[in-house]
Amino acid sequence: MVKAANPRKRPHTCLRCGGTFARASHLTTHVRTMHEKRRDHACPHCAAAFGAASDLTKHVRTVHEKRKDHACPHCAAAFSQASKLTMHVRNVHEKRKDHACPHCAKAYSQASHVREHVRTVHEKRRDHACPHCAATFTASGSLSTHVRMVHEKRRDHACPHCTAAFARVSDLGRHVHSVHEKRRDHVCPHCAATFTASGSLSTHVRTVHEKCRDHACPHCAAAYGRASHLARHVRAVHVQRGHQRAPGGGRGL
C-alpha cells in the first residue's frame, strides 16, 4: 500500500530554517550541528569530530573498525547499519515505492525522497544556505556533506585496500565494490545496464526509463534528472550571465 507523506509525523519545526523533525531530540541535534556548528564528539582515533554522538559511533565502526555486521540475505552486500540493510532490501530486492507524493503521481522508496521531491519540484525551496559560498540545498544533510567535502576537504573514510580516502561512506563502498571487488550487483529491470550501487541504478531508472526531470532550473525552463546536471547548467549558463545564487550540487533522487 502506498503511503502519502504525512507532515503531522514531523511535528518539531526548526525556527531558523523551517526543517521539520519527528522527535525533539532530532531538532536539538539539527540546531547544534547545522546552525551552531558544534562538533562536541571527537574521534579518539583521528582528527574527525561530529555534532552527534551517533555519527561518531557510526564513523568509528565503519572507518576504524571496518565493521559490516548486517548482511543482506539476498545478495553479497553487507552494511554497517541495520537501517541501511533495510533500505537496501526494500529498494533493490523488493522494489518497493511505498511513499507517494501528495501533489503528483510520483512515488518513492523512502519518505525522505518524497520530502526532497516536494521541496525541489513543487515548493521550489532551497532553505539550507552554505555559510562559505553561494550554494543552497533542499536538505540539511546535503549542506553538511557539501561543507565537509568542498570547504573542509575532509576525507574521513579510508579504503582498506589502497591509499584512496573519501568524504562519504557511500563513496568508499562504491570504490571498493567497483575497483577492488569488480562487483556490479545492481541490474536494471528494463535493460542490460548494471551498476555498483543501488543509488546509481535508481538514478538510471528515473532519468533513462522514467524520463524524470525533478531538478528544475530557478532561472529558466530547463529541468534535469540529476542535481549535478542542474548545477552544471546554472554555473555554465546563468552564473556567467550575472546570477548570484547557484545550486552547489546535492544527492539526486
Cβ distance 18 to 27 under 8 Å? no
Residues 223 and 220: their CA atoms lie apart, in Å, by: 9
In a domain, 11, yes or no: no
Residue 176 belongs to a domain with what CATH number?
3.30.160.60
pTM of the model: 0.36
Render each residue's pLDDT in the chain as its tens digit; 253 residues: 444 445 457 888 888 888 888 888 888 888 888 888 888 888 898 888 888 788 888 888 878 887 888 888 888 788 877 888 888 888 788 888 888 999 988 888 778 888 878 877 888 788 888 988 888 887 777 888 888 888 988 888 888 899 888 888 878 877 887 888 887 888 888 888 888 777 788 888 888 888 888 888 888 988 888 888 888 888 888 876 665 444 444 433 3
User: What DSSP state is assigned to residue 7?
Assistant: G
In a domain, 6, yes or no: no
User: Of 145, 140, 118, which is closest to residue 129 (Cα–Cα)?
Assistant: 140
In a domain, 155, yes or no: yes
Residues 229 and 249: their CA atoms lie apart, in Å, by: 8
In a domain, 76, yes or no: yes
In a domain, 3, yes or no: no
- How much is the pLDDT for 240? 67
In a domain, 95, yes or no: yes
> Helix H segments across 17-131?
24-30, 53-59, 82-88, 111-117
Residues 111 and 102: their CA atoms lie apart, in Å, by: 12
Contacts of residue 101, defined as CB under 8 A and 6 or more positions apart, other chains included, come to 4, 5, 107, 108, 114, 117, 118, 122
The three cell numbers of residue 2 are 502506498
In a domain, 4, yes or no: no
Contacts of residue 168, defined as CB under 8 A and 6 or more positions apart, other chains included, come to 145, 149, 157
Q: Compute CA distances 151 → 135, 232, 234, whole Å.
A: 12, 19, 20
In a domain, 18, yes or no: no
Cβ distance 186 to 196 under 8 Å? yes
Q: How many domains does the chain have?
A: 1
Q: Regarding beta strands 3-4 and 99-100, do their DSSP bridges make them parallel or antiparallel, or are they unpaired? A: parallel
Give residue 234's identity as a one-letter amino acid code: V
- How much is the pLDDT for 3? 45
- How much is the pLDDT for 253? 35
- What is the extent of the structural domain holding 222? 39-241
